Chain A
Amino acid sequence: MHLSGSASETLVFYRQALDSTTTNSKIKLIGLYKHKTYMELHKKQTRFLEFYRHLIELASENFSTRLHITGKKDDEIETFGLLLNMLAQRLQTLYNLHAPSLRKKLPDLSFLINEDRKIIFVSPDAISAIKSSKEQLFGKDFTTVLTSSSQQFFLDEMMKIDNELFHEKYHELHFKDKADAKISSYSFWYTAFNEGGARLISVHCNFKKAIKKIKETGNSLLLKEDWDKIRAFHNYILNHLYENLPSMSELAKIADLNEYKLKMGFKELYKISIFRFQTRERMSHAELLVKNTLMPIKQISQHLGYRDSSHFSTIFKKHFGTSPKKFRNQNRKDSP
């Protein structure tokens, strides 16, 4: 018996066969039908199990997970699998766009000292906080960067913890700069000790103080809806790329944000200022037009929204190191 064709054709075949056979044959046919149905069901279930696994991986922030796709276009389950893969890629991109923290990054002062308390490594934030340099700090006794009151406190603590592998302490630790002025005050520090005798001392800001300072300087915290507005604004720029940007206050109205949040948020999310972003995108379009079309340079500059073609050429040269005309000549390929 040849079983082939679509599921509905197969079902019709079974029904016709059942009507015209004896009871024993009927039982055999029902068995075969159930077997085929079972196999298809099992295949579907296995596929769905793969989808569930995929979704759980996504929920666990594993965005590199992928389902195998065969490209079978008349299969809805296959379509669903394709969308899940595309979703994973999308999430990976959004996640890697440096989902910005909702608060400004707190300075992390880390010092690595050896058994003799000599500084063998120091973090950039620490160098900046103490207003010193690597060369001035390396090899120096750690206590010399502390105020006298903190020095004593630190030495007392070191005596207490001795060879303890990990020790946390909530206490103020004051540093001083070259002029012996107290420059920072932190309330949390911890130390870790490795078998080679090196000790890591890591000091973190007082969170309450840090937030107060952020608010005083106007670094207002951005909420999720603010980041969504900034992303929407990014699309707005791309959709109006050839229009000259209005003033910051106008842009802020368009974005439905205050100027500071728009400016800082855009820079933090996209690592570039709004105006530079527009210029960069315009130049990427310019590159393609200059390289791949015969459009006169003046026409390209007008198309991209530059009123003055010499201004356009100046910006182009700044981006690509050469004038549009020379760039075209260097990259000219035979037209199709």
Chain B
Amino acid sequence: MYNHYENDFAKFWINNGILYYVYKPYPIINLDMAKQIVADRLKLQGDIIYPVFCDTREIINSEQDARDYLATKGSILCNANAFLIESVYSLQMVNFYVKTSKPCIPVHIFNQKQKALDYLKDFK
């Protein structure tokens, strides 16, 4: 089994018990992309549950059904999610996602990578 993978929308890898997920710059994340994201992540994980570090700094926009899909199906084999943001733009976008799509796992938003990783340590 590989421990890293890359598709058109993201790079992801597993390191030290945490699954890292970095979104690439893409105009809009739609439902098909969301499905691809989840499918590829599951292929990488195998049967192990991981906390997920999600770098959303390059996300420009997303569709409602993609967000809803990620909130439910995106929680499969995940036990926590830490989002990394950088700008007000990213913060508000992720905030909107958390408040409206209501992910099924614990979620926190951070603007510092180390704090995000420290948060996820409790879920390893």
Interface of chain B residues 57 through 87 with chain A (CB within 8 A): 60-61, 63-65, 68, 72-73, 76-77, 86-87
How far is B71's CA from A239's CA once the two chains are assembled, in angstroms? 10
- The 8 Å CB contact of A82, one of B5, B46, B61, is B61
User: What is the bound-complex CA distance between A288 and B37, given in angstroms?
Assistant: 12
> Interface majority SS on B: helix, strand, loop or mixed?
helix
- Segment from A35-43, A83-91, A178-186, A259-267 that makes contact with B: A83-91
Let me know if A292 and B43 touch, CB within 8 A: yes
Residues in A with CB closer than 8 Å to B40 are 292, 336
Interface residues on B, range: 20 to 34
Q: A2 at interface (Cβ–Cβ under 8 A)?
A: no
Task: Say yes or no for B44: interface residue by CB 8 A criterion.
Answer: yes
Q: Does B39 contact A (CB under 8 A)?
A: yes
Given the complex, which residues of B lie within 8 Å of A284, measured CB to CB?
A: 73
Could you say which of A86, A241, A281, A336 contacts B44, with CB atoms under 8 Å apart? A336
Given that A299-B47, A336-B2 are contacting pairs, would A73 and B42 also be in contact in the complex, using a CB cutoff of 8 Å? no
Taking the closest CB of chain B, its distance from the CB of A82, in whole angstroms, is 6
Task: State the main secondary structure of chain A at its contact with B.
Answer: helix
What 0/1 readout, one digit per residue, does chain A (57-86) give for beta carbons within 8 Å of chain B? 000000000000101111110110011011
Residue from A82, A235, A293, A294 in contact with B89 in the complex, judged by beta carbons closer than 8 Å: A82
Cβ of A293 and Cβ of B87 under 8 Å apart? no
Q: Does A289 contact B (CB under 8 A)?
A: yes
Does B61 contact A71, Cβ atoms closer than 8 Å? yes
Known contacts: A82-B89, A89-B64, A238-B104. The answer to whether A289 contacts B1 by CB under 8 A is no
Q: Taking the nearest CB of chain A, how far is it from the CB of B65, in angstroms?
A: 8
Determine if B39 and A288 form an interchain contact, defined as CB atoms under 8 angstroms apart: yes
The chain B residue sitting closest to A71, CB to CB, is B60
Contact, CB under 8 Å: A86 / B76? no
Residue in contact with B64 in the complex, picked from A82, A90, A285, A296, CB distance below 8 Å:
A90
Q: Is the CB of B38 within 8 A of A79?
A: no
Q: Which residue of B lies closest to A87 (CB)?
A: B96
Q: Does A79 contact B76, Cβ atoms closer than 8 Å?
A: no
* Interface flag for A217 (CB, 8 Å): no
Known: A285-B73, A336-B2. A86 touches B42 (CB 8 A): no
Per-position binary interface string of chain B over residues 27-50, scored 1 when its CB falls under 8 Å from any chain A CB and 0 otherwise: 100000000001110111111000
Residues of A within 8 A of B86 (CB): 73
Q: Say yes or no for A93: interface residue by CB 8 A criterion.
A: yes
Contact of A49 with B by CB under 8 A: no
Is the beta-carbon distance between B2 and A288 smaller than 8 angstroms?
no
When the two chains form their complex, are residues B39 and A291 in contact, meaning their CB atoms are under 8 A apart?
yes
- Name the distance in Å between B52's Cβ and chain A's nearest Cβ: 15
CB distance A74 to B87 under 8 Å? Answer: yes
Q: Size band of the A side of the interface?
A: 35 or more
- Complex contacts, A149 vs chain B, CB 8 Å: none
Whether B104 lies near A293 (C-beta < 8 A) is no
Least CB distance from A302 to B in Å reads 11
Q: Give Cα distance in the complex from A281 to B75, angstroms.
A: 13
The interface residues of chain B lying within 8 Å CB-to-CB of A281 are 72
The answer to whether A293 and B92 touch across the interface, beta carbons within 8 angstroms, is: no
Distance (whole angstroms) from the CB of B101 to the closest CB of chain A: 9
B89 engages A79 (CB within 8 Å) = yes
Docked CA distance A307–B59 (Å): 40
Q: Restricting to A230-275, which residues have a CB under 8 Å from any CB of B?
A: 235, 238-239, 241
Which chain B positions have C-beta within 8 A of A295? 46-47
Q: Which 7 A-B pairs have the closest CB atoms?
A: A295-B47, A292-B42, A336-B5, A89-B64, A71-B60, A73-B87, A73-B89
Residues of A participating in the B interface, judged by any CB pair closer than 8 Å: 69, 71-76, 78-79, 82-83, 85-87, 89-90, 92-93, 235, 238-239, 241, 281, 284-285, 288-289, 291-296, 299, 333, 335-336
- Residues of B at the A interface (CB closer than 8 Å) are 1-2, 5, 27, 38-40, 42-47, 60-61, 63-65, 68, 72-73, 76-77, 86-90, 92-93, 96, 100, 102, 104
17 A-B Cβ contacts within 8 A?
A: A69-B60, A71-B27, A73-B86, A83-B92, A92-B64, A93-B65, A281-B72, A284-B73, A288-B73, A289-B76, A289-B77, A292-B40, A292-B42, A293-B42, A293-B45, A335-B2, A336-B2
